[in-house]
Chains A and B, each alone.
Chain A
Amino acid sequence: MSKKWLATLTSSAAVLLLGACASGDEAETPATNDEGTTEESSGESREVLVYSNSLAGGRQEWIDDMATEAGFDMQYVEGGGGEVLNRLLAEANSPQADVAFGMDEAMFFELVDEELLVEYEPEWVGEIPDDALIGDQMFHPLVEQRIFMMYNPEFVSEEEAPSNWQDLSDMEDFEGRYRVPAALGGGTDQKAILSIILQYIDEDGEMGIAQEGWDEVEQYLANGYQTPENEEQLQNFAEGTIPLSYHFLGGIPNAEEEFGFTAEIVNPEQGVITMREQIGVINKGDDHDYTAAQEFIDWFGSAEIQGAFVEEFGGLPVNESAVESAPERLQEIAEQTEPMDVDWNFVRENLNQWVEKVELELMP
């Protein structure tokens, strides 16, 4: 009499299937009726589907509350920067997103290349410093990130401290005691490598980089410490086992508080890599109505919202009127460091093959 069991099994399968289909119909509605949205965009419901890598740690909930209050009907797709970019690129032939934000300029240039963005000048563009406007109206900066070397002054004196990335590999005292990337999937890890090779740009070199630069990277990686998956690099940093590391600006206040250290930041002569999280409207065809997307950008990038956002989650707004709201520690580090002059178009063209070369040939 296993009949009943089979019935249960098959019917549950059917229910699951039906469930999936039913929810499918339901769910596809908001995604497919762009036309519908646009007509009533000036009205109550302004639907915006956001793709972003900057929604973790309570950000999404915060944005959702604020945006709903402001009259937006939000949906989100989140992931790491690379994942969101991949998804946007894969969906290029039938884009789903209305707005993308959070990825850096190199990634946005890639979206421009694939004609995935449409031009829009937000209301707050006047509050952005001119040198930060590199997107040709296709995208605009929201938050600034700097990636820098740091040392723990409890274990490393100012005299001992390196003055530039490539010095690390020459310092015998710290052999195996400075952190190097274990993988290059993440943006911050990639920037550590960029910090070195961008000092050796050479048109004749392999992939636009002089051999010397590649050698420096190889040595840097060979003598450093790759944090295993089960260790916490900040813990190592705080305890002094690995007192030299690198970090991104926005994460510093929390890290210092949680692990109980105060980092000293190294500002090399060329400056520190500074990238900006951008925002742009996704291209969904000529006859698509972009009003809701544009209104969202106007709203989200405004000094008021950006100021409130960084107060809640940290970060250094690019919007000059919002900088004041940033945590003091961030403003302090921002003053201690100089942004490095980076040709992001050049980086975007070569980044992937650089990373691949490092992964394949230079990593120990």
Chain B
Amino acid sequence: MIEIKGLQVKYDEFIAIDDVNIDIKEGEFFTLLGPSGCGKTTTLRSIAGFLKPSEGSINVNGKNIINTPIEKRGLGMIFQSYALFPTMSVFDNIAYGLKIEKKSKAQIEDRVYELADLVELNEEQLGKNVSDLSGGQQQRVAIARALAKKPNIVLFDEPLSNLDAKLRKQLRLELKRIQRETGMTAIYVTHDQDEALEISDHIAVFNNGRIEQIGTPREIYDHSASEFVCKFIGEANYLGPVLINHINSHGETHQFDTKAKHYVREEKINLSVPEGSKAVPVKGKILQEVFYGTFSTYICEALDTTVRIIVKEDGTTRIDSKNDLTLYIDPKDILEYGGD
């Protein structure tokens, strides 16, 4: 449905994004993820038309929209700051796009109430001024406003980052629900990897103006394509060369390149293994322990490497001695970057 090819955006001499290629299918929830300044918002704003790319094309249903005026692109967009019109009531904010389409009064009213239902705003709130609403309610208004014209594609520019953690979680689920109910294609910008993993069908991870990896959340997590992606998504332990040598000496299948960098996700280091596992045992000791209720984390030192591991508090794992324990690392869980 949306096909971005070789996109490049320049600010004067500075290249904000380069060689961005993305394919987004209809009805998909697609997330642009990355740290601030990585180019994800630039990409989104290029799709919206606020920025003019210096190279590349953006095809929507096979038509290049690079030169289409913003207002003719038929997109919906939700802003980080909501960008509600302060001089209008909630109702007028939602109705704004419909009025431009010169819909009849009755049509507009019907649609506004329909949207209010969808985003769970009541009639009293519709009559209020936007500044009288709470942050969460304002965001609902922004969503309703963006959906008013039933756009096929809706752009989200970090829409939840101004909200507190609990509200963020709740609205995240609602966003997903609304997206499913309306069948729209969502392009979602965020720097929050949990959010991205939870909500997305596909994720594009940005770094320094380029895409590092595109994939489903699971692909990106389990098979991070680069060291950057590996470190940015979830928690990963860096494994030092001594430890790698140790693993290599036990290794039966694969020898790791000691000049490369190696990581393993923290939940993939175990204190015990089932029979027949290929995991390599490493002697270590616990430096620090934090109890979280359902699980605990341990900072351990083993062969010049400090790792953090997660242990479920379900009574299956017993730690006999803090100074003498065995960590098991399965070579297939080790991610290798760089080297020869």
Tell me, yes or no, whether A and B come into direct contact in the complex with CB atoms closer than 8 A: yes
In the complex, which residues of chain B have a beta carbon less than 8 angstroms from the beta carbon of A27? none
State in angstroms the CA–CA spacing of A264 and B286 once bound together: 116
Residue A1 lies at the interface, judged by CB distance under 8 Å to chain B: yes
Tell me the nearest residue of chain B to A5, going by C-beta.
B87
1/0 per residue, CB under 8 A from A, across B72-111: the answer is 0000000000000001100010000000000000000000
User: In the complex, what distance in Å separates the CA atom of A2 from the CA atom of B89?
Assistant: 11
**A233 CB to closest chain B CB, in angstroms?**
57
Interface size on B, residues (CB 8 A): 3
Number of residues in A with C-beta < 8 Å to the partner?
A: 2
Interface residues of B in 33-86 (CB under 8 A from A): none
CA A1 – CA B87 in complex, angstroms?
Answer: 7
Q: Please, how many angstroms separate the alpha-carbon atoms of A310 and B3 in the complex?
A: 92
B236 CB to nearest chain A CB (Å): 54
Give chain A nearest CB distance to B136 CB in angstroms: 26
Q: What is the bound-complex CA distance between A1 and B96, given in angstroms?
A: 11
- Give Cα A245–Cα B250 distance, bound, in whole angstroms: 118
Neighbouring A residues of B88 by C-beta, 8 Å? 1
Chain A residues within 8 Å of B92, by CB: 1
Contacts of A2 in B (CB 8 A): 87
Query: What is the bound-complex CA distance between A2 and B86, given in angstroms?
Result: 11
Report how far A156 CA is from B109 CA in the complex, Å.
91
Q: Which of B110-167 contact A (CB under 8 A)?
A: none
Q: Hey, what's the 0/1 contact readout for A1-28 against B, CB within 8 Å counting as 1?
A: 1100000000000000000000000000
Question: Which residue from chain A places its CB closest to the CB of B92 in the assembled complex?
Answer: A1
Chain A nearest CB, measured from B298 CB (Å): 62
Give the shortest distance, in Å, between A5 (CB) and chain B (any CB): 10
A2 to B87, CA, bound (A): 7
- Complex CA distance for A1 and B93, rounded to whole angstroms: 11
Closest A residue to B89 using CB positions: A1
How far is B88's CA from A1's CA once the two chains are assembled, in angstroms? Answer: 6
**Complex formed: what's the CA distance from A1 to B99 in Å?**
12
Residues from chain B with a CB closer than 8 A to the CB of A1 are 88, 92
- Closest residue of chain B to A2 (Cβ to Cβ) is B87
**Alpha-carbon distance A72/B159, docked complex (angstroms):** 77
* B88 nearest in chain A by CB position: A1
Q: CA A2 – CA B88 in complex, angstroms?
A: 8
Shortest distance between the CB of B122 and any CB in chain A (Å): 22
Bound complex: CA of A212 vs CA of B162, how far in Å? 83
Q: How far is the CA of A1 from the CA of B91 in the complex (A)?
A: 11
Looking at the assembled complex, report how far the CB atom of A321 sits from the nearest CB atom of chain B, in whole angstroms: 75
A42 vs B23: C-alpha distance when bound (angstroms)? 89
**Distance (Å) between the CB of B3 and the closest chain A CB?**
40
Query: How distant is A126 from chain B, measured CB to nearest CB, in Å?
Result: 77
The smallest C-beta distance from A1 to any residue of chain B, in angstroms, reads 7
Instruction: Give the distance in Å from the alpha carbon of A2 to the alpha carbon of B92 in the complex.
Output: 11
Residues of chain A lying within 8 A (CB to CB) of residue B87: 2
CB distance from A350 to the nearest CB of B (A): 60
CB distance from A2 to the nearest CB of B (A): 5
**A323 to B74, alpha carbons, bound, how many Å?**
88
Distance in angstroms between the alpha carbons of A1 and B92 in the assembled complex: 8
CB distance from B278 to the nearest CB of A (A): 71
CB distance from B295 to the nearest CB of A (A): 56
Shortest Cβ distance from residue A334 to the other chain B in the assembled complex, whole angstroms: 73
CA distance A275 to B92 in the complex (A): 74
For residue A328, give the distance in angstroms from its CB to the closest CB of chain B: 73
Residue of A nearest to B87 (CB): A2
Separation in Å of the A135 CB from the closest CB of chain B? Answer: 67
Q: A117: shortest Cβ distance to chain B, in Å?
A: 61
203-246 of chain B: CB within 8 A of chain A:
none
Interface residues of A (CB under 8 A from B): 1-2
A/B interface sample: 3 pairs, CB < 8 A: A1-B88, A1-B92, A2-B87
The 3 closest A-B pairs by CB, nearest first: A2-B87, A1-B92, A1-B88
